[in-house]
Amino acid sequence: MNAFETMAPADGLTRRRGLLVPALILLLVFAALPALLAGFDKGYFYQIANLALIFVLLSASMHLVTGVAGLLHLGHAAFYGVGAYTAALLTSKLGLGFTVTLPLSGLVAALVAFLVALPTMRLVSIYFAVATLAIGQMLYLVMLNWVDFTKGPNGIIVSKGFELFGFSLSGRLGAYYTVAAVVTLSVVAIGRLSHSYYGNALRSIREDDQCADAMGVSTVRLKMEAFTLSAFFAGIAGSLWAHMTGYISPGDFKFSESILILAMVVVGGLGSLPGAIIGALLLILLPEGLRALGDFRNIMVGLVMFLSILLLPKGLLGEVSALRLVRRQLGAAWRNTGKGEGIGWR
Amino acid sequence: MTFRLLTLTTLTAAGIATGIATGIAGSAFAADTVKLGYQLPLTGDTAQYGQDFRKAAEIALTEFNAAGKPFKVEIVFEDSRSDAKEGTNIARKFVDDKEIVGVLGDFTSGVSMAAAQVYKDAGMPQLSQTASHPDYTKVSKYQFRNIATQAQEGPYNAKWMATKGFKNVAVIAEQTDWGQSVVSGFSDAVKANGGTVAFSEFFNRGLKDYRSLISKIERAKPDAIYTGFFYEDGAQFLKQLQQLGIKTPVYSTSAAYSPKLIELAGGAAEGVHLTSNFLPTDPSPNVQHFVDEWKKRSEGAVPGQFPAQAYDAVRIMLAAVEKASPNPTREKVRDALAQTKDFPGVTGKTSFSADREAEKELVKVEVKGGAFIPVAD
């Protein structure tokens, strides 16, 4: 019996198993959950479900850059904001509906990401992190201070809810299905990107970018693509948020939101898409679930995050240890091996 | 490893489950109790304001329930952390609770506006003690606020400064929706009175170094500086103004009116002119009663402008509920709120105009000898 034959049944099994889990999740998202929501008929539960789904998409999109490609991204919320502002401005100034603003939000966010990526993507480790921090702050300040265009701190009222080619979906169940469908499609796309040769090429950057470069992987181009793609999906999430709440202001997209999304990716497990999804669900549902604790709920959320990093340094389902990644990202600055590496460009 | 994972998941699941359970169950409840919601930041960057509002609301509520009315009122406080995500979640939660007939809050305009989108559709009256966004009350007929807007305060201050002979003024304000309204409300009135605005600029909240801003102001050589800030930023600004030896008179809005301004700025606050509608030194019995109650609960500290506004907002809401009873509904409470006229609060008499803005009497105040002293002009 050769190795090939022994592999075959196992492969078949994983393939069947590989179909079962997504089928169950789809059933949960599109049948069980809506049934439950309709059963309770509480706007609060719909709201939380939609919010959790939007953050699932944000976390999944950051997973592409931080989890798979291993680049510490500290400005993700800004692209979420660019998407939301695109949707809000197109709606309030041109009267366009969700069908048009959804793809445009993604594209504008991707375009902005591409432009800011051009000069920054050659940076590595902590320098990359600081560059993304600067990009995030810069975009936030544009939203806040370019008053003539963005209305600055006054924010924008988004008068139109969800619709598809003019057919209104703004009822509770309609909104849920819209958000769920958009998020599911996006997550599937991100899943295909990260579990493919393409994803493996990104992983090679995470594991050793110099080695990947030497093997002929175009690391700069890949980083740029990953960064732009992740901004595209963040923009999509922004459009969902704008049409869902009906009012956006720069405060929704500040630095602390970037950190929240980063925490989701890390708690869930760096490099794992299911991890990123679970991380997002955890950090949205837990603070709401703990409302009964009053002022102590943030401490509890902090405690859960702390314990999860302490006890599960790879996150709940991680491929890589968060501690290892951070050590490598930040450690490069002060590590001196005497071989010329360390501070500066690698 | 598996054990740890299991513990963690159980912990989380338990947390979420309790939340859902409380969400579904609501609370068992006597028929003669009316419920109100109050969304406010009890944690996070702006928690100090939210904590003060809760204290003020509790004073108002205790008095109301002790007054032997035919029904009792319960206020449900929910922490929004000044985050629009949480603010809208809470709004949905309050709307779901059929027993809640009115909502107070939120603190920041951004969160109040986001929550207002929910209350608009649900027909829930919302009364904010501080939301200053120019479009807030325009969201729908359910939005009220108990704060003098800059459309009222700006012209008042512009006139005050004009009578003092300050024709050429500089304006600075924080870069928020409120700061925007400070500048526009004031500048328009200055120009209408024939004065000029020599300089106007916004700064980001929490700025530590105002020196470059101050030198830009001084380059414009204004007769006086009009400022839109809260006490934290105000104290920083005034201290640095003093350090640079600048004697240009400073005027400000009621937002800076807090004992903490003098506490933090010390001598630098001397001579600052501002408007207010709440004076803790006012001898009238209801003000003294509020100040005493506040001191009892805050180790002798004196309440500022915002807690007073919150105290009045809660009492206006309670009065509306009483007017709408028996069997108050959201619609009846809204109508009762809209009819509020000359409500005798600690921040003066309050009436709601047809567009649900609070019309308040303003008082002129100057800082003298480390205290706020009312002045005639």
Residue B20 C-alpha, separation from nearest chain A C-alpha, in angstroms: 6
Q: What residue numbers bound the domain in which A220 lies?
A: 28-250
The count of other CB atoms within 10 Å of the CB of residue A309 is: 17
Contact B170, B217 (CB under 8 A): yes
Q: Residue A46 falls within a domain, yes or no? A: yes
Confidence of residue A114 (pLDDT cuts 50, 70, 90): very high
Stretch A98-119: mean pLDDT: 94
A154 and B23: CB-CB below 8 Å? no
Stretch B61-73: mean pLDDT: 89
pLDDT at res. B27? 45
B110 and A153: CB-CB below 8 Å? yes
* Residue A327 pLDDT > 60: yes
* Residue A74 pLDDT > 70: yes
Residue of higher predicted confidence among A324 and B275: B275
> Which residue bears the tokens 């963005």?
A150
pLDDT at res. A249? 92
Stretch B53-80: mean pLDDT: 91
| Rounded Cα gap, residues B104 and B145, in angstroms | 9
Same fold, B32-148+300-360 and B150-276: yes
Nearest residue to B41 via CA among B115, B95, B117 = B115
> What's the N-to-C CA distance of chain B in angstroms?
73
> Which residue bears the tokens 């102001």?
B217
Confidence of residue A190 (pLDDT cuts 50, 70, 90): very high
> Which residue bears the tokens 């405060």?
A251
Q: Residue A152 falls within a domain, yes or no? A: yes
Residue-wise pLDDT tens digits, A278-287: 999 989 998 8
pLDDT at res. A332? 53
Nearest residue to B129 via CA among B263, B296, B316 = B316
Residue B113 C-alpha, separation from nearest chain A C-alpha, in angstroms: 7
Lowest mean pLDDT among A43-47, B21-25, B67-71, B348-352: B21-25
Residue A134 C-alpha, separation from nearest chain B C-alpha, in angstroms: 17
Nearest residue to B70 via CA among B110, B31, B115, B123 = B31
Lowest mean pLDDT among A78-92, B330-344, B356-370: B356-370
Strand duo B250-252 + B273-276: pairing: parallel
* Residue A346 pLDDT > 90: no
Encoded tokens for A41: 């008929």
* Residue A1 pLDDT > 50: no
| Rounded Cα gap, residues A24 and B93, in angstroms | 29
Count of structural domains, chain A: 1
Q: Residue A224 falls within a domain, yes or no? A: yes
Chain A CB contacts of B88 below 8 Å: 47, 245
Q: Show me where the domains of chain B are located.
A: 32-148+300-360, 150-276
The 3-state DSSP composition of chain B as helix, strand, coil percent (nearest 5) reads 50, 20, 30
Above pLDDT 70, what percent of chain A?
88
pLDDT at res. A345? 39
Q: Residue A278 falls within a domain, yes or no? A: no
Cross-chain CB nearest to B133 (options A154, A292, A307): A154
Class for domain B32-148+300-360, per CATH?
alpha beta
Contact A280, A268 (CB under 8 A): yes
> Which residue bears the tokens 């930041």?
B41
Chain B CB contacts of A251 below 8 Å: 82-84, 108, 110
Confidence of residue B7 (pLDDT cuts 50, 70, 90): low
pLDDT at res. A3? 41
pLDDT at res. B259? 85
Kindly tell me the burial class for residue A30, based on how many C-beta atoms sit within 10 Å of its own C-beta (0-12, 13-18, 19 or more). Answer: middle
pTM, two decimal places: 0.84
Q: How many contacts does A have with B, using Cβ atoms within 8 A?
A: 131
Residue-wise pLDDT tens digits, A292-309: 877 778 888 888 888 877
* Residue B4 pLDDT > 80: no
Nearest residue to A76 via CA among A187, A311, A237 = A237
CATH topology of domain B150-276: Rossmann fold (3.40.50)
Confidence of residue A52 (pLDDT cuts 50, 70, 90): very high
Cross-chain CB nearest to B4 (options A43, A294, A311): A311
Cross-chain CB nearest to A152 (options B43, B81, B175): B175
Confidence of residue A253 (pLDDT cuts 50, 70, 90): very high
Encoded tokens for A1: 């019996």
Per DSSP, B132 falls in state -
B89 and A252: CB-CB below 8 Å? no
Residue-wise pLDDT tens digits, B79-88: 998 899 999 9
A44 and B23: CB-CB below 8 Å? yes
B interface test, pick of A148, A253, A258, A291 with most B CB neighbours within 10 Å: A291
pLDDT at res. B5? 55
What is the residue type of B366?
A: E
Residue A253 C-alpha, separation from nearest chain B C-alpha, in angstroms: 10
pLDDT at res. B216? 93
Stretch A47-60: mean pLDDT: 95
